[in-house]
């Protein structure tokens, strides 16, 4: 059962980043704008983040096995739709459906693990392996995509999911046990609408901010409305006796610190994967497979960091281990800016090894801290809180840093290039992929000049976003050192936590003996 669930999470992780290797080829085929290209990349993770809490509650209500199998089916169908998409809009829609299927899978699998492994030590090991499967999948996604693109078209990176999902459906139907919450919470449709719409407004504003020099009042208004809806969502959750998302958990400074660590670290890590894949291909001239191979040090060291994280915590304590790993990640990003590049593979490999090791430690210890702070009676909600922080970090990381890179690229691209017509130059300002496409229709001297200008502009943009990511991770390390000091309690959230414990005890007393072995 654990193998089936881990394979599904490995597949979900791969799908988070497998598109990175296909960006140059699908850009030539579908001609997406710079904004649509960012939507193609991160609509998946943002959809997962927006629906995880809802799917956790839904699984508690209708049955986790039923929900996870439905998620597998939707994931397979959406993969086929993405593979044969004819326009960028169709691909964005298919990627959103992939995210919805993944949210159903991820919110259910952690809850199922808690039921199947009642022993605390075994459950901790199972959750660690499960979390590592998703992280490793995300790390090897560009390599898988590059290997597929060596022989087939860009749609193959999605079509390969279909036979794997078919096997998982058959095995899951036989091996996964059914479980549900005998006293599920009320369904909060307004809360779901507020969270999804608010997040969409904020992300839309971020993307439009980098789409043009003067985005206008529309994106600013969308961002303000999105923030207001998210504030309303938090206010509503704090007042409900049975909230969709228990925001009072953030009164615990350790819980808040762990969430901030995961958001900052995984957001920077995922964005680094995306930009590095483009950097190696479009600036360094590497093939998709070679670009994936160049990212192997990052994937391998990330897995090693996840395995060594518990040992580091036992030796130095959670606070020192988390802070040190974040500092290592930030220093590696600075090292990459100082001496790395497509032509300096030794320096780049060292920087990627250190980045992956630090990120692996942070993601494992941060996830464990989040799960430990959540109400154990709500397995679906506990899984949703943990995974939402991962997926929201991935989506916001690519959105925010991608906006910064797009703005820097556009500013660094010369206002004119000799021999390049204005229409081709305007197209090249959208993205480096669009510049590559425009250059194919120009005479050799002008094409070479446009290629060189676009690569230099992208290289400058990559340097800027890497420095920004290093600063974000360094700030996260400082916050972790401050908030993870010994003796920090729940403060104002303690009373509500005790009330939830009393409700949990009453719920347990009403259940037949043995019906909640997972608790």
pLDDT (tens digit, 9 = 90+) per residue, 209-218?
A: 655 556 667 7
User: In this structure, is residue 309 part of a structural domain?
Assistant: yes
CA pseudo-torsion sign 300, 139, 383, 126: negative
Helical H segments across 150-250, by residue range: 156-159, 161-175, 189-209, 217-239
Structural domain harbouring 202:
189-239
| Overall pTM surpassing 0.85 (yes/no) | no
**Residue 153, pLDDT score:** 80
Average pLDDT, stretch 455-476? 87
CA dihedral 408, 410, 414, 419 (to 10 degrees): 150
**Residue 398, pLDDT score:** 76
User: In this structure, is residue 515 part of a structural domain?
Assistant: no
pLDDT top residue among 487 and 48: 48
User: In this structure, is residue 183 part of a structural domain?
Assistant: yes
User: Are both 383 and 413 inside the same structural domain?
Assistant: yes
Q: How far apart are the first and last CA of the chain?
A: 19
User: Are both 145 and 195 inside the same structural domain?
Assistant: no
Residue 495 pLDDT > 70: no
User: In this structure, is residue 516 part of a structural domain?
Assistant: no
The closest alpha carbon to 98, from 57, 137, 146, 48, belongs to: 48
**Residue 375, pLDDT score:** 57
**Residue 460, pLDDT score:** 85
Task: Note every long-range contact of 33-36, with CB atoms under 8 Å and residues 24 or more positions apart, other chains counting.
Answer: 33/88, 33/211, 33/430, 33/431, 33/434, 34/210, 34/211, 34/406, 34/430, 34/431, 34/434, 35/207, 35/208, 35/210, 35/211, 36/88, 36/89, 36/92
User: Are both 303 and 433 inside the same structural domain?
Assistant: yes
User: Are both 225 and 257 inside the same structural domain?
Assistant: no
User: Are both 286 and 202 inside the same structural domain?
Assistant: no
**Which two structure tokens, joined as six digits, stand for 6?**
């881990």
User: Are both 478 and 371 inside the same structural domain?
Assistant: yes
pLDDT top residue among 185 and 149: 149
Q: What band does 120 get if pLDDT is binned at 50, 70 and 90?
A: low
* Total count of domains within the chain: 2
Average pLDDT, stretch 507-514? 40
User: Are both 235 and 101 inside the same structural domain?
Assistant: no
User: In this structure, is residue 518 part of a structural domain?
Assistant: no
**Which two structure tokens, joined as six digits, stand for 133?**
């499967």
Average pLDDT, stretch 444-468? 84
CA 463/CA 205 separation, integer angstroms:
23
Residue 313 pLDDT > 50: yes
Q: What is the CATH number of the domain that holds 438?
A: 1.20.1250.20
Residue 396 pLDDT > 80: no
Which DSSP letter does residue 485 get? -
For residue 338, count other CB atoms closer than 10 A to its CB.
10
Could you give the percent of the chain with pLDDT greater than 90?
1
User: Are both 206 and 328 inside the same structural domain?
Assistant: no
Q: What band does 498 get if pLDDT is binned at 50, 70 and 90?
A: very low
For residue 173, count other CB atoms closer than 10 A to its CB.
12
DSSP 276-345: HHHIIIIIT---HHHHHHHTHHHHHHHHHHHHHHHHHHHHH-HHHHHHHHHHHHHHHHHHHHHH--TT-H
CB 344 within 8 A of CB 388: no
User: In this structure, is residue 519 part of a structural domain?
Assistant: no
User: Are both 184 and 194 inside the same structural domain?
Assistant: no
User: In this structure, is residue 246 part of a structural domain?
Assistant: yes
Average pLDDT, stretch 345-369? 82
Question: 187: alpha, beta or left, given left = phi > 0 and alpha = psi -120 to 50?
Answer: beta
pLDDT top residue among 197 and 378: 197
User: Are both 160 and 123 inside the same structural domain?
Assistant: yes
CB 418 within 8 A of CB 57: no
CA 178/CA 176 separation, integer angstroms:
7
CA 20/CA 294 separation, integer angstroms:
14
**Residue 113, pLDDT score:** 76
Average pLDDT, stretch 142-158? 79
User: Are both 439 and 480 inside the same structural domain?
Assistant: yes
**Residue 463, pLDDT score:** 86
User: Are both 230 and 138 inside the same structural domain?
Assistant: no
**Residue 519, pLDDT score:** 26
């Amino acid at each position: 059962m654990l193998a089936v669930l881990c394979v599904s999470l490995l597949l979900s992780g791969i799908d988070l980043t497998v598109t990175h290797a296909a960006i140059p080829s699908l850009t030539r085929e579908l001609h997406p704008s710079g904004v649509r290209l960012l939507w193609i990349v991160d609509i998946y993770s943002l959809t997962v983040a927006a629906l995880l809490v809802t799917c956790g509650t839904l699984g508690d209500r209708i049955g986790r096995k039923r929900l996870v199998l439905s998620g597998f089916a939707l994931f397979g169908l959406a993969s086929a739709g993405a593979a044969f998409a004819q326009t960028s809009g169709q691909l964005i829609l298919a990627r959103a459906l992939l995210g919805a299927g993944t949210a159903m899978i991820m919110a259910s699998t952690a809850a199922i693990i808690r039921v199947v492994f009642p022993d605390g030590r075994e459950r901790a090991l199972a959750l660690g392996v499960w979390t590592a499967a998703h992280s490793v999948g995300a790390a090897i996604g560009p390599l898988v995509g590059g290997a597929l693109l060596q022989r087939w078209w860009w749609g193959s990176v999605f079509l390969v999911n279909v036979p794997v999902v078919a096997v998982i459906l058959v095995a899951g139907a036989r091996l996964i046990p059914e479980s549900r919450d005998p006293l599920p919470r009320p369904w909060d449709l307004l809360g779901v609408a507020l969270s999804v719409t608010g997040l969409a407004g904020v992300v839309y504003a971020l993307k439009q901010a980098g789409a043009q020099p003067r985005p206008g009042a529309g994106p600013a208004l969308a961002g303000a409305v999105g923030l207001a809806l998210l504030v309303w969502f938090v206010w509503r959750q704090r007042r409900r006796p049975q909230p969709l998302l228990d925001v009072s958990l953030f009164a615990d400074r350790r819980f808040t610190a762990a969430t901030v660590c995961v958001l900052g670290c995984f957001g920077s890590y995922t964005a680094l994967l995306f930009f590095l894949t483009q950097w190696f291909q479009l600036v360094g001239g590497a093939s998709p497979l070679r670009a994936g191979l160049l990212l192997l040090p990052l994937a391998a060291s990330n897995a090693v960091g996840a395995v060594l994280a518990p040992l580091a915590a036992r030796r130095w304590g959670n606070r020192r281990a988390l802070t040190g790993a974040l500092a290592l990640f930030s220093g590696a990003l600075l090292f990459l800016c100082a001496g790395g590049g497509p032509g300096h593979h030794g320096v780049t490999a060292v920087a990627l090894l250190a980045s992956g090791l630090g990120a692996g430690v942070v993601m494992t210890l941060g996830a464990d801290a989040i799960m430990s702070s959540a109400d154990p009676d709500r397995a679906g909600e506990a899984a949703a809180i943990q995974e939402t922080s991962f997926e929201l970090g991935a989506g916001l990381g690519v959105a925010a840093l991608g906006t910064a890179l797009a703005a820097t690229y556009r500013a660094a691209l010369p206002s004119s290039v000799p021999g390049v017509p204005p229409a081709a130059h305007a197209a090249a300002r959208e993205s480096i992929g669009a510049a590559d496409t425009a250059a194919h229709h120009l005479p050799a001297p002008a094409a070479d000049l446009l290629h060189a200008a676009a690569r230099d502009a992208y290289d400058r943009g990559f340097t800027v976003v890497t420095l920004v990511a290093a600063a974000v991770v360094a700030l996260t390390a400082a916050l972790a050192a401050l908030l993870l000091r010994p003796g920090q309690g729940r403060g104002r959230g303690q009373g509500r936590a005790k009330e939830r414990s009393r409700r949990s005890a009453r719920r347990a007393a009403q259940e037949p003996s043995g019906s909640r072995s997972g608790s």
